[in-house]
Amino acid sequence: EPVTHAIMPDATDHLVDGLLKRLDCEPAYVALRQTSQAQGVSWLMLVGGMLRDWVLFETVSADLDVVVYPAHAKPLAKALSKVYGCKCIVLDEALGIYRLVVPPTFFETNGLQGRVVMIDVAARLGNTLADDLARRDLTVNAMGLTLDDAHWHDPYDGLGDAQRRQLRMVSADNFRDDPLRYIRLFRFAATLGGLAMEAGTLVEVRAEGHRLLHVAPERIHYELCRLLDAEQCFDVIGLMQQTGLLGHLFVEWPALQQVPANGYHHLALPEHTLALLQQLEQLWAGLPASMRGALAEPYNATMSRRAVCRLGCFFHDFGKPATMALDDETGRYRFYGHEKVGAELVAGIALRYRWSQQLTRDVCALTRWHLYPHQVMGPEVSDKARHKFFRRLTHVMPELLALALCDRHSTRGALVSQADVDRDEAQLLALWAAYEVFAKAEAELPPLLSGREVMARLNLQPGPAVGRVLDQLREAQLAGELADKASAEVWLDALQDHVN
């Protein structure tokens, strides 16, 4: 129910004044005000993330959520699409929800750096403003600012919760009506700087989090990616484990509890898995700047490469329960082939959550090859063997070596000394340095022969065989065995003689 709280009207005046002054510098907002006035929209309310972020951080988020009377929603959205130069995307025709993705060109014409902004225009739900805010997920998201009277509406004490730095649900029914909110809660906890979750809200998650099973997998995947892209997420994912949410999201998770600590691992498998996420946060500042820079690069529109690394950390040992076998001689458990089985499990999870082909390929590769860096990092390994490793996994090299470092620091059983950890860390960092040299050399070295030339000389048809020959040719070139086109042709002739 709405609460009465001791906030005097002038307590929000500075919030309203500061926000409106800031918004007057935003071309997208100015265009919204001008267009709504031209359309005769007499009542318009800003809601959601913009108000929340202003209260928490005194920053203005790029995106806008706008509520208007039902009759005005579609006409206003259509008019704005013409002003912004973008399409009007129908999110829900029945509820009157429309999205405008404002293109960079709109800002460039206003003399600003190009960026993408999303504006959602929605019809007011219910008969009153209070009815609309009552249907929102969290109290910090259930605040509104009506622009006609510049009044801040806060029926559920979202401002107080923001000041207390806590996330509290508006009502349990709102979560149950849209169970995605059970995971959005954790995403907000991670992305809003570690806000705590109110006790009653956590009770609801523990009791009813299983309702997530009825949510479209793509929606869950989007929220997970946003969560994993937060600056810090270890504590939040740990809380997801404690509330049972990880088990609802991944049916494979409970089986990890079967794998105990051992001579090499000081933690049982669930805790070891989460420890990798913690290590990535703790080691982050000390990683080579070039590795941090690579991991900070955008992976797609939703997340960075660091989030992909976190997925690899989370899934890397999922194959252990299925491969666990007791060695009678040593009395220790072995997990032969767990990396292969784990990659197969990840492929199934990717299918279930409808990942992109690229993300499936990359996280499967991180799982399949997470042990491989240790096989190519010693001084006894040849450059040719390392280069083959680099070329095979160049698309995930920063993620893979960061994962290996986190795994090393999370494996501290009685049979592992600090000297072991220090040695392996130094060798993994040396492997990264060698990869940087390799990547620079490969980028600067032009290929000696094209695919067409290889096909003509070996009388091959287009297909995988051509790619394999080109890979071998490139490896020989990078190893310094081939210096020019003539030597490459001699090499090809020798290869053909060997095949024949």
Range ranked top by mean pLDDT from 50-54, 60-64, 272-276: 272-276
CA distance 51 to 33: 17
What beta strand segments (E) does 3-53 contain? 44-47
Predicted confidence (pLDDT) per residue in 437-455, tens digit: 999 988 888 888 899 998 9
The mean per-residue pLDDT over the stretch 131-139 comes to 95
Structure tokens at 248: 């609802």
pLDDT above 60 (res 7)? no
Q: Evaluate if residue 11 carries a pLDDT over 80.
A: no
pTM recorded for the entire structure? 0.89
CA nearest neighbour of 319 among 334, 299, 303: 334
Q: Is 23 a residue whose pLDDT tops 60?
A: yes
Using the predicted structure, report yes or no on whether residue 284 has a pLDDT greater than 50. yes
* The pLDDT of residue 63: 86
Q: What's the rounded mean pLDDT across residues 37-54?
A: 95
Distance CA 133, CA 117 (A): 23
β-bridge mates for residue 88, sequence order = 100
**What's the mean per-residue pLDDT of the chain?**
92
Higher pLDDT, 354 or 2: 354
Is CATH 3.30.460.10 the right assignment for the domain spanning 9-164?
yes
304 beta partners: 298
Q: DSSP letter at 446?
A: P
Query: Residue 459 above 80 pLDDT?
Result: yes
Write the pLDDT tens digit of every residue in 118-128: 999 999 998 88
Question: How far is the C-alpha of 278 from the C-alpha of 238, rounded, in Å?
Answer: 10
**Which pLDDT belongs to residue 1?**
45
At residue 5, does pLDDT exceed 70? Answer: no
Could you give the 3-state DSSP secondary structure of residue 53?
helix
- The first and second tokens of residue 412, run together, are 């501290």
Q: Which two tokens stand for residue 383?
A: 């450059």
Q: Is 7 exposed, middle or buried (0-12, 13-18, 19+ CB in 10 A)?
A: middle
- In Å, how far are 247, 273, 314, 346, 357 from 317, measured between CA atoms? 16, 7, 8, 10, 21
Phi and psi at residue 417, to the nearest 5°: -100, 165
Q: What is the pLDDT of residue 473?
A: 87
Beta strands in 97-252 (DSSP E): 97-102, 117-123, 144-146, 151-153, 166-167, 196-197
Cα distance between residue 409 and residue 422, in whole Å: 9
Residue 146 CB contacts under 8 Å (≥ 6 apart), including other chains: 43, 44, 45, 129, 153
> CA-CA distance, 306 to 312, in Å (whole number)?
10
For residue 112, the model assigns a pLDDT of 66
Q: How far apart are CA 418 and CA 398, in angstroms?
A: 24
Tell me, what's the pLDDT at 80? 98
Name 454's Cβ contacts closer than 8 Å, sequence gap at least 6.
Answer: 460, 466, 469, 470, 473, 492
pLDDT for residue 71 is more than 90: yes
DSSP 447-471: PSS-HHHHHHHHT--SSHHHHHHHH
> Judging by beta carbons within 10 Å of its beta carbon (0-12, 13-18, 19+), is residue 47 exposed, middle or buried?
buried
What is the pLDDT averaged over residues 202-219?
96
Taking residues 405-424, report their average pLDDT. 95
Sequence-separated (6 or more) residues with CB below 8 Å from residue 126? 132, 134, 135
Confidence tier at 477 by pLDDT (50, 70, 90) = confident
Measured distance CA(398)–CA(393) in Å, rounded: 10
pLDDT exceeds 60 at position 140: yes
Question: Residue 230 has which token pair?
Answer: 């937060």
Supply the pLDDT for residue 499.
53
- Overall average pLDDT of the 251-269 stretch: 94
With a CB cutoff of 8 Å and minimum separation 6, the contacts of 54 are 15, 18, 19, 22, 60
62 vs 270, residue with greater confidence: 270
Neighbouring CB atoms inside 10 A of 481's CB total 13
What is the C-alpha separation between 153 and 312, in angstroms, rounded?
43
Q: What average pLDDT does the segment 294-307 reach?
A: 95
- Among 78-92, 108-122, 132-146, 193-207, the minimum mean pLDDT is found in 108-122
Q: Residue 480: which pLDDT band, with cuts at 50, 70 and 90? A: confident
Q: Is 115 helix (H, G, I), strand (E, B) or coil?
A: coil
Percent of the chain predicted with pLDDT > 90: 75
* Domain 165-249 belongs in CATH node 1.10.110.30: yes
Cα 469 to Cα 98, 463, 473, 476, 489, distances in angstroms? 52, 11, 6, 11, 12
Mean pLDDT of 353-373: 98
Residue 409 has pLDDT above 50, yes or no: yes
Is 340 a residue whose pLDDT tops 90?
yes
What percentage of residues in the chain have a pLDDT greater than 70? 96
- Residue-wise pLDDT tens digits, 462-473: 998 888 888 888
4: pLDDT strictly greater than 70 = no
Alpha-carbon distance of 430 to 423, in angstroms, equals 11
| Confidence band, pLDDT 50/70/90 cuts, at residue 498 | low
What does the pLDDT read at residue 237?
98
pLDDT average, residue stretch 364-382:
95
- At residue 412, the pLDDT reads 93
Contact 218, 183 (CB under 8 A): no
